[in-house]
A and B are shown apart, each in its own frame.
Chain A
Amino acid sequence: MVKISSKRKESKRVHIISRRDGWAIKKEGKTRASKIYNNKNSAVSSARKLKEKGLDVIVHKKDGSIQKWEKSKKQK
């Protein structure tokens, strides 16, 4: 099995990912999701606060593809 490295530099992206039991907020580089929400809107609203801290918020569709990519307010 391929071992994916976890030693990459600190990522500035957070993902909203579908889960069996809801929608997860998962920061890149972390092993576990920070929180699971019952619905997607709640997860997106909560994750948007992280844009202030310099994180891009990537909202995924249920199939894993990209629905929306919200850029951080600190970058650029």
Chain B
Amino acid sequence: MNTNNDFSKNVFINCPFDDQYIPLLKSILFTIIYLGFTPRIALERFDSGEARINKIIDLIKASKFSIHDLSRIKASKKSEYFRLNMSFELGVDIGCRIFKDGQAKDKKCLILEKERYRYQKALSDLSNSDIKSHDNEPEEVIRQIRDWFVVNELERADSGTIIWDSFNKFMADFYLKREKEGFQEKDIQRMPIPEFIRFINEWIIERRNN
């Protein structure tokens, strides 16, 4: 099991935390752990006394890899504001790589969007960057993350389809176990992210030992 102290294994996740995004987030967390890495996310700890930006900066400094999802930066309805946190945190991460010395120079990031080229309308500084689209599909986000790790770090990995199928099987085991423990549907859906991450880790270890 990786620990949070291993820079070379840590993956900072910069994404929205709303209910609509949670299914995508779950597939992202699963893929990262499946491939042998450690997800680092602002939701991993909850301390009302800790300033959010300080927590984000700590996570960025501690992570060699980062995944930034810009698919929700556009307001979805009239009178709603743009959501700027994701692009702000992407800027902090890129700045960390550029201005900080040492291992920060090895940092690598994956930028995701819902559709190809849509981000250019709001963030033209990224026009020549290689950005991947997932079309809001967990299956596609798993494939994009898997391919990105294979290109940047791993020599080989299971196919995106195998990881997607494993995620579905994991979700069945997760549902069954929680239901047996007395959890209701809404408890399962809204489980705190650290608890969900623990369950993924336990599931992976169990399978590795069998």
Interface residues of A (CB under 8 A from B): 1-5, 7-8, 13, 15, 17-20, 26, 28, 31, 33, 58, 60, 62-66, 69
B residues near A64, Cβ cutoff 8 Å: 23, 26-27, 138-139, 164, 167-168, 171
A residues near B36, Cβ cutoff 8 Å: 1-2
Our pick among B140, B176, B189, B207 for the contact of A4 (Cβ within 8 Å) is B207
Interface size on B, residues (CB 8 A): 34
Q: Give B182-210 interface residues, CB cut-off 8 Å to A.
A: 189, 204, 207-210
CA distance A47 to B157 in the complex (A): 30
Which B residue sits closest to A30, measured CB to CB? B165
Our pick among B35, B137, B176 for the contact of A62 (Cβ within 8 Å) is B137
A residues near B138, Cβ cutoff 8 Å: 62-64
A8 and B210 form a contact (CB under 8 A): yes
Interface residues of B (CB under 8 A from A): 23-24, 26-27, 33-36, 137-140, 154, 156-158, 161-162, 164-169, 171-172, 175-176, 189, 204, 207-210
Sample 7 A-B pairs with CB under 8 A, ordered by A number: A2-B204, A5-B207, A8-B207, A15-B165, A15-B168, A64-B171, A69-B172
CA distance A6 to B83 in the complex (A): 43
CA distance A5 to B80 in the complex (A): 47
A20 and B139 form a contact (CB under 8 A): yes
- Closest approach, in angstroms, between the C-beta of A7 and any C-beta of chain B? 7
Which B residue sits closest to A31, measured CB to CB? B162
CA distance A19 to B36 in the complex (A): 24
B residues near A28, Cβ cutoff 8 Å: 169
Given known A2-B204, A8-B210, A58-B172, contact A17–B164 (CB-CB < 8 A): yes
Our pick among B35, B156, B161 for the contact of A2 (Cβ within 8 Å) is B35
B residues near A66, Cβ cutoff 8 Å: 171-172, 175
- Closest approach, in angstroms, between the C-beta of B167 and any C-beta of chain A? 5
B residues near A69, Cβ cutoff 8 Å: 172, 175-176
CA distance A26 to B161 in the complex (A): 12
- Closest approach, in angstroms, between the C-beta of B163 and any C-beta of chain A? 10
Which B residue sits closest to A58, measured CB to CB? B172
CA distance A8 to B206 in the complex (A): 11
B residues near A19, Cβ cutoff 8 Å: 139, 161
Given known A2-B34, A2-B35, A4-B207, contact A15–B172 (CB-CB < 8 A): yes
- Closest approach, in angstroms, between the C-beta of A23 and any C-beta of chain B? 12
